[in-house]
A and B are shown apart, each in its own frame.
Chain A
C-alpha cells in the first residue's frame, strides 16, 4: 500500500511567519502534486513536480521534489491569512494517492 505522510498535521502561525510542510513516502512516484482545499470546496491544484530535485515557485510558495522522487516539501514565505486551508500532497500513479493533509491557520 502506498502511503504519503505529511507533517505537521496542524500548524497555527502569525501573519508574516515562514513555514514548511513535508510530504514523505516509501514509494517512488512519477510525479507529485500539491493541492489546497478550503472548507466546503474540493481541492485545487497548486503545482505538479515531475523531475527529481525539481524546485518550482508560485509567488510566496516554493515546492521541491526530492531527488529520489519519494518526498516533497512546500515552503511558504511571509504567510498571509489567505493562505489558511488544508494542504494536500498527492503522488501520481494511475490515480492520485493523497497524503494525510496539513491544516494551516494563519492569524492576522
Chain B
C-alpha cells in the first residue's frame, strides 16, 4: 500500500487479557520499528527489525511484550496479561534504506486497558 497501515486503530481490553497489534509496512521497506507513545509524551522505542537480522529488542519494557515479523512483511506486537500502564498509542514505522532515510509512521493503535 501507499503508507504504513496499523490495525486495529483503537483497542479497549480488560486488564489481564492478551492483545495483538498489527503493522503492514510499505512494500520494499526493509526496516520496521515499534514505538510506544504515552499521552502527551514523546516516542519510546520498543523493537526494531532489519531484514533477516536478529531483531533489536532492547526497548521492550517487560517479557510480557513480544513482536514478530515474517521476512519484510507484516509485523505483530503482542502484549500478554495487559496492565493499565500499557495504555498508550503504539506506533509502527518502516524505513526504505539506511539510517539517513526518513521513517514513515502509521497512525497508530490506541490501546486502553480497563
Query: Could you list which residues of chain A lie within 8 angstroms of chain B, going by C-beta atoms?
Result: 6, 30-31, 33, 40-45, 48, 50, 88, 90, 92-101, 103
Residues of B within 8 A of A99 (CB): 42
Rounded to whole angstroms, the CA-CA distance of A100 and B37 in the bound complex is 11
Q: Is chain B's interface secondary structure helix, strand, loop, or mixed overall? A: strand
Given A30-B99, A31-B99, A95-B48, is A41 in contact with B107 using a C-beta cutoff of 8 Å?
yes
Do A30 and B100 have beta carbons less than 8 Å apart? yes
- Closest 3 A/B residue pairs (Cβ): A42-B105, A45-B102, A98-B43
Rounded to whole angstroms, the CA-CA distance of A96 and B34 in the bound complex is 11
Q: How far is the CB of B7 from chain A (nearest CB, A)?
A: 14
Do B93 and A97 have beta carbons less than 8 Å apart? no
Rounded to whole angstroms, the CA-CA distance of A43 and B41 in the bound complex is 13
Query: Could you list which residues of chain B lie within 8 angstroms of chain A, going by C-beta atoms?
Result: 4, 33, 35, 40-45, 48, 50, 56, 91, 93, 99-100, 102-108
Given A50-B100, A94-B99, A95-B48, is A101 in contact with B41 using a C-beta cutoff of 8 Å?
yes
Do B100 and A100 have beta carbons less than 8 Å apart? no
Find the B residue at minimum CB distance from A40.
B107
Rounded to whole angstroms, the CA-CA distance of A95 and B4 in the bound complex is 17
Given A42-B93, A42-B105, A42-B107, is A88 in contact with B43 using a C-beta cutoff of 8 Å?
yes
Do A31 and B100 have beta carbons less than 8 Å apart? yes
Do B100 and A98 have beta carbons less than 8 Å apart? no
Do B45 and A33 have beta carbons less than 8 Å apart? no
Do A42 and B106 have beta carbons less than 8 Å apart? yes
Rounded to whole angstroms, the CA-CA distance of A46 and B105 in the bound complex is 13
Rounded to whole angstroms, the CA-CA distance of A99 and B43 in the bound complex is 8
Rounded to whole angstroms, the CA-CA distance of A43 and B103 in the bound complex is 9
Rounded to whole angstroms, the CA-CA distance of A6 and B42 in the bound complex is 10
> Which of B91, B102, B104, B107 meets A33, CB within 8 Å?
B102
Residues of B within 8 A of A88 (CB): 42-43
Do A101 and B108 have beta carbons less than 8 Å apart? no
Q: How far is the CB of B94 from chain A (nearest CB, A)?
A: 11
Do A97 and B45 have beta carbons less than 8 Å apart? yes
Find the A residue at minimum CB distance from B93.
A42
